[in-house]
Amino acid sequence: MQIITIMPDFLSAYAWAKDAEDDTTYVGGNIAAGEDGFEFSDFKVSAALVQGFCAWVGRFERYCDDPAFDWDEFHRDGIALARRLKAEIGDQARVVYAIPMEDRKNRKNRFMDRLEILADGSLK
């Protein structure tokens, strides 16, 4: 089993994978970026979900340094995408949402550093 971490990064990267036994905060290697999505991974993800991730990570790349960037809305959208991913891949992998280092306020306050998306869509 693997853990897929959803976390935006530059160059349109947004999904990372590692073995579930790895209990470090390391997110793993990149498995999805841009319009190629999860094409080179073992996970089959719909084109509509890949498009959603592309738009989401694009917002990050364009606005993450803007002091007026609405991080709370961004995270709500990211968690919604992570929930859709979990619904599509089911028990193939655990799905975790992690906030990026660029969101200094939420990381500092540990507002929601890492949240696991459970099968029913709830957050752990």
**Residue 12 pLDDT more than 90?**
yes
More confident of the two residues 2 and 113? 2
Q: In 77-95, which positions are buried (b, 16+ CB within 10 angstroms) versus exposed (e)?
A: ebbebbbbbbebbeeebbb
pLDDT in tens, 46-88: 999 999 999 999 999 999 999 999 999 999 999 999 999 999 9
pLDDT in tens, 97-119: 998 989 977 766 554 588 999 99
Region 85-93: mean pLDDT is: 97
More confident of the two residues 111 and 12? 12
Predicted pLDDT at 109: 52
Cα(106)–Cα(91) distance, integer angstroms: 29
**Residue 24 pLDDT more than 80?**
yes
